[in-house]
Amino acid sequence: MRPRLSVVAPCFNEEEGLPEFCRLVEEACITTVGTSFEIVLINDGSRDGTWNVMSNIAANKSRVVAINLSRNYGHQIALTAGLHACRGERILIIDADLQDPPELLEQMMALMDEGAEIVYGQRRKREGETLIKSWTAAIFYRLLRKLVDIDIPLDTGDFRLMSRRALDVLNSMPEQSRFIRGMVSWIGLKQVPLLYDRQARFAGSTNYPFSKMLRLAFDAITGFSIMPLRLASYLGVAMGCASMAMIGYSLLSWAMGSAVAGWTSMMTMMLLIGSTQFLVLGMFGEYLGRMYMETKRRPLYVVDSVAGNIAVAPAMSAPQHRLMAS
Ligand code: UDP
Ligand code: MG
């Protein structure tokens, strides 16, 4: 039988904070669902004693499951491994550094009882983070919103409670470069925010240096938008217009006899070739973008509910548990 709740937390170099994290999460679980829960911890190739601490906790507590990945895959893949392994009816995704308060579980569960399919934590403010981190995060989320067609909520991380149904859809997405919060937004269904203040880290320091953040940002933009490819088309059109004006100008100079011999024809050729190249590149981009989107093999849509007596098979492929192997 499924436990009522699974808590999934990816861990990378979290040895200091892990025991306290487990204690607080356990407490929050017991007050909300009694004993019907599991805590799934994933060790994402930590370089400190995280695995020792984690496996000790799992040996002593029957409700804790510890998964050791073969190396550091990064937060999103580690989380995916946990999401594939967990069995609960509801799933709480949480960071292991206590920046997301486990006490919020009760309110999240209540919102889900009222019919939400996904309850996501939305940050009101961030404590203990550098100005650069909060600014880059703020700029990134706003830029992302402009670039992608789905509604990815602002200032939201992966801290959220999901229903089994929503998780099954997420698990059915086989793509390699994963931006989980975007993929969850893509699912749709009833998603409601819960505002909270993000705490400072309990112990250790951030494992998201600028390079990892940049990679996440690229995964987010390229995973949900072919805008960068489309830019070539826009550039081509803009250059085409500018070329027309320039060609007019060089013809005029030639007619008035003020142009050096050969200049007009050379300018015309150069401009025409240049702008045509951009246009053709843009066309390539359009097809490439579509091919890229197609290769993701996402389900085409998610059915929320069906009324009446229609037999509709929801378009969901079976979960593909292959990320842990690949
Ligand atoms: N994490 C992970 N693998 C990584 C980096 C981070 O599993 O390569 C985990 C980390 O242990 C934490 C969560 O992902 O539970 C968020 O990471 P972090 O707190 O370093 O990011 P920040 O909160 O600073 O954005
Ligand atoms: Mg953190």
User: Residues 197-220: pLDDT tens digits?
Assistant: 887 777 777 777 788 888 888 888
Q: What is the mean pLDDT of the chain?
A: 84
SS3 193: strand
| 294 alpha carbon – ligand 2 mean position (Å) | 34
| Helix, strand, or coil (residue 306) | coil
The alpha helices in 188-226, defined as continuous H runs, are 210-224
Domain ranges of the chain: 5-225+299-324, 227-296
Residues 134-152: pLDDT tens digits? 788 788 888 888 877 778 8
Residue among 92, 140, 208 to mutate when testing ligand 1 (max atoms within 8 A of CB): 208
The bound ligand whose nearest atom lies closest to the alpha carbon of 137 is 1
With a CB cutoff of 8 Å and minimum separation 6, the contacts of 224 are 144, 147, 148, 149, 150, 152, 179, 182, 186
Pair of tokens at residue 111: 């919102």
Question: Are 217 and 210 in contact, with CB atoms under 8 Å apart?
Answer: no
Residue 317 has pLDDT above 60, yes or no: no
Q: Say if pTM beats, i.e. exceeds, 0.85.
A: no
- Whether 326 shows a pLDDT value over 70: the answer reads no
Q: What is the DSSP string of 34-95?
A: TT-EEEEEEE-S-SSTHHHHHHHHHHH-TTEEEEE-SS---HHHHHHHHHHH---SEEEE--
Least confident of 107-116, 171-180, 289-298: 289-298
Residue that the structure tokens 């200091």 belong to: 16
CATH of 5-225+299-324, one of 3.40.50.300, 3.90.550.10, 3.40.190.10, 2.40.50.140: 3.90.550.10
Region 309-316: mean pLDDT is 50
Task: Evaluate whether 194 touches 124 at the Cβ level (below 8 Å).
Answer: no
| 301: its two tokens | 């849509």
